[in-house]
Amino acid sequence: MTTKTPIAPPTPFGTPRIGTTNWYGLWTMYQKETRRFLKVWTQTVAAPCFTTLLFLAIFTMALGGAGRMAAGVDFSTFLAPGLVVMAVLQNAYQNPSSSIMIGKVQGSIVDVLMPPLSAGELMVAYVGGGVTRGLMVGTALAVTFWAVPGIEMSIQHPWAVLYFFISASVMMSLVGVLTGIWAEKFDHTAAIMNFVVTPLSLLSGTFYSITRLPDALQTVSHFNPFFYMIDGFRYGFIGHADGDLTAGVALTLTINIIMWIWGYTWLKNGYKLKP
């Protein structure tokens, strides 16, 4: 006598079917993060591009104008890739940090924690929103610089451009997630931006080659992960790097993995998010 395997009752109409990954919820959360900054695109995309263009104009004129060379290329060509990454770093950080902080202050963070979204899915959505904003600003700047006379934005090493472009936006999105979870008020997120992100980006070879620094400061610069992201991205355009590209890839990848695990753990445990 054979035993029949019991058949599960059909799922009632309208009941959501969620597998190992809630793709629909993940996509909805990602759309929330991107639409949030696209609704005020003049502030989140256009304004950073305009500010960065002012940096290019001011530093090019202040440091000698046309004819000045750096790393074997015209100074404006040397400067442009660094400005692109600097804008990517700052904007990728601001998106998830402000999103989480606003949710905590307004009490709407519970609307994010209640749906059937895992910690990993929340991480992908928050980081994805930050990466999208960072890459959107960076791409707009790169296209603008390409159209500016005197700047040679020709890609020589596509792998370096792609890797360090994405790695920079992922890293700062992760920093934004961690900051948003940790911060208790907007002053905390602003402090990380003003006293950590901005100084590290300005002192990472954005406006100069670190080979012009004293040996002691060069050594310090090699401990700055922002330096490797800017140097690697610039290498993709001008074919010259001040640092070790292999070390840059290894360092940025390691930091991103560590911060991803860190952020995932905090979200899973509800650190400073659950009452």
Which of 135, 145, 140, 152 lies closest to 238, judged by CA?
Answer: 152
CA–CA gap between residue 120 and residue 29 (Å, rounded): 12
Cβ pair 109, 271 in contact under 8 A: no
Average pLDDT, the chain: 89
Rounded to two decimals, the pTM is 0.89
The pLDDT-based confidence of 9 (bands split at 50, 70, 90) is low
pLDDT tier at 13, thresholds 50, 70, 90: very low
Instruction: Output the six-digit token pair for 265.
Output: 């753990």
What is the spatial distance between Cα 120 and Cα 116, in angstroms, rounded to a whole number?
Answer: 12
pLDDT tens digits along 249-272? 999 999 999 999 999 999 999 999
Tell me how crowded residue 110 is: count the other CB atoms within 10 A of its CB. Answer: 12
